[in-house]
Amino acid sequence: MSEHIPGLHHVTAIAGDPQHNVDFYTGVLGLRLVKLTVNFDDPGTYHLYFGDEAGRPGTLLSFFPWPGAHRGRRGTGQATTVSFSVPGTSLGYWTERLKRHGVASEGPRTRLTEEVLPFTDPDGLHLELVTHGGGASRAPRNGGPIPPEVAICGFFGVTLSEEGFERTAASLTDILGFRLIAEENNRFRFSSAEGGPGTLLDVVCVPDTNRGKVAVGTVHHVAWRAPGQDAVAGLRERLAGAGFNVTPLIDRRYFRSIYFREPGGVLFEIATDAPGFTVDESADQLGSRLMLPPWLDVVRARVEYALPPLRIPQPVQAR
């Protein structure tokens, strides 16, 4: 097909306390808070985007913080693991760093062709740092608290937990253009575009597992990249023609996107690369203050009053 998915755009999850969320992802993992805004559909909730220094697609993990909400449940019909790519000799550094910050990790362990260090964030979201033979798909973040030679290099991939396999697999390959590239027991690895870190989707078949429940500590949706609105329109036409209930194109200010659920129940988004996060603030000021779309900026005082206070991290030197 002419439309193709170059890889992951972003992953959005649910957090609890927004300050704990910011402190962990900027202070412990060394990501940059690249956009401080609100959920456009629920302006009383922050939308926090973390990524590399420029907020490039393929590096972005974002959160809706729900203070005081109950923990969710990982299970089928969910994206259950978010995996970051790190340089090949860095897992020793990360094991010690996580331990120093009171974060328990499991491993490192070997899976397929990579070494994996699993751990969870303060809300129970399941994360991994992954090294692999193919090298990083992009340069590590510069200017953060982590030395560049061991810093996170964007996404490696995501893992879906599914009750079944065939219908999800068929939608990935026949409609979205993914390729099945590896198998290990009940894990099936798919890749978009030319493959490699940032393009990978693992489907784990776990029919005896309970259905997942989206709340604090779970993934809300997985967003895939599209080069532009024409590509999104082409993919939307294919999805609708195959019987998927897909939204119209929605303006998210920093990208345009559509949403639909794959056959196993995971919410997918397809988002454009442009216009990006510098549409409303300069690159050096990304994440430094609350940014609102025009229709909310006119009631800024009311929006700010409804949000909990949040301390924005100051730049720190790598160590």
Strand partners, 223: 10, 269
pLDDT tens profile 112-141: 989 999 999 999 999 999 997 654 456 777
pLDDT tens profile 156-215: 999 999 999 999 999 999 999 999 999 999 999 999 977 789 999 999 999 999 999 999
Strand partners, 33: 50
pLDDT tens profile 255-275: 999 999 999 999 999 999 999
Number of CB atoms found within 10 A of residue 102's CB:
8
Residue from 293, 234, 243, 245 nearest 268 by CA: 245
Beta strands in the chain (DSSP E): 8-15, 32-39, 42-51, 60-65, 78-85, 109-111, 114-120, 126-132, 155-162, 179-184, 187-191, 200-205, 219-226, 250-251, 256-261, 267-272
pTM higher than 0.85: yes
Token digits of residue 185: 């027991």
All structural domains of the chain, each given as residue ranges with its CATH number in brackets, are 8-306 (3.10.180.10)
Q: Tell me which residue has tokens 């442009």.
A: 274
* Cα angle 174, 80, 10; round to 5: 70
Q: Tell me which residue has tokens 């879906």.
A: 160
